[in-house]
């Protein structure tokens, strides 16, 4: 890449990760397609994006840990059910044709935005749910499926996790975003990066620019999500999912 292409990549990464850390996921909805548009094959773009996304989790974690808003029990549940799905999804996605993977990604992400828009009060207030053994099992299965999508389709699956935490566990958007950025950003994406790195190849020369954009963007976006209200986060979530979902499809 020449210096102009690296500037474009840095700006795209920075913007993508700011919006992702603010809206609760979606860095891959901008950053991942940009890697494809710049000429990387789906598998190489996916592996490279995964590695860069870990820096998003690091940047966001630095900011969110100052707030102390994570509950250990739920955090461990997200890791225990999600990580096996990430590994399985990452191992299988390289066998899926690129066009089908991108189409599925676009349709799923648009569905997230529409669902949030239809449910106007969703995630504006925290409404903790008392989940029994069956409720926790269903929640865990949901996290496993989202982990599978995170390892395979990658882009936008942080948004899936955010919405699941809001819908099933009763979190508001601000708290759900914190869990997503710390646990999905660092641990799910880190696991996916290792798995894909073993099965595919990385574009190492592009990573320094992507890592800088992810780290700085993650911190800035996490700061915005903390100081802004749930309504702002909800609107950003809906806008990111629908607009970039359409871009991926068409």
DSSP 109-160: HHHHHHHHHHSTTTTSS-------HHHHHHHHHHHHHHHHHHHHT-TTHHHH
Q: Residue 98's pLDDT is what?
A: 63
Output the six-digit token pair for 207: 């990573």
122 neighbors 231 (Cβ within 8 angstroms): no
Under 8 Å between Cβ of 159 and 237 = yes
Separation of alpha carbons 167 and 150, rounded Å = 18
User: How many domains in the chain?
Assistant: 1
Say how far apart CA 184 and CA 29 lie, in whole Å.
15
Note down pLDDT in tens along the chain; length 250 residues: 677 888 888 988 888 888 777 776 767 767 877 888 888 887 788 788 878 888 888 877 777 776 666 788 888 989 999 999 888 887 777 676 667 777 877 787 788 788 878 877 766 777 777 788 898 899 999 999 888 887 776 666 777 888 889 888 888 888 888 888 888 878 887 887 787 777 777 888 888 999 998 888 888 888 887 777 677 777 877 887 787 778 777 7
Domain hosting 212: range is 3-249
Q: Comparing C-alpha atoms, which of 33, 42, 43, 39 is closest to residue 12?
A: 33
- Check if the beta carbon of residue 217 is closer than 8 Å to that of residue 20: yes
Q: Is 70 exposed, middle or buried (0-12, 13-18, 19+ CB in 10 A)?
A: middle
Q: What is this structure's pTM?
A: 0.76
């Amino acid at each position: 890449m020449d210096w102009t292409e690296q500037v474009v990549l840095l700006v795209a990464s920075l913007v993508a990760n700011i919006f992702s850390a603010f809206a609760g996921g979606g860095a891959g909805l901008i950053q991942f397609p940009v890697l494809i548009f710049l000429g990387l094959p789906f598998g190489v773009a996916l592996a490279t994006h995964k590695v860069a996304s870990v820096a998003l989790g690091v940047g966001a974690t630095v900011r969110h840990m100052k707030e102390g808003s994570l509950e250990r029990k739920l955090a461990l549940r997200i890791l225990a059910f999600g990580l096996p799905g990430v590994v399985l999804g990452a191992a299988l996605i390289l066998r899926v044709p690129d066009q089908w993977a991108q189409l599925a990604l676009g349709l799923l992400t648009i569905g997230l935005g529409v669902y949030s828009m239809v449910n106007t009060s969703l995630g504006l207030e925290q409404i903790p749910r008392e989940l029994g053994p069956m409720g926790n099992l269903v929640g865990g299965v949901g996290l496993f499926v989202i982990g599978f999508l995170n390892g395979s389709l990658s882009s936008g699956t942080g948004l899936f996790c955010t919405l699941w935490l809001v819908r099933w566990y009763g979190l508001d958007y601000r708290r759900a975003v914190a869990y997503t950025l710390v646990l999905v950003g660092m641990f799910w994406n880190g696991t996916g990066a290792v798995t894909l790195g073993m099965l595919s190849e990385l574009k190492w020369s592009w990573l320094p620019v992507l890592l800088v954009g992810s780290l700085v963007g993650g911190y800035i976006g996490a700061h915005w999500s903390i100081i802004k209200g749930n309504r702002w986060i909800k609107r950003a979530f809906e806008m990111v999912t629908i607009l970039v979902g359409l871009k991926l499809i068409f």
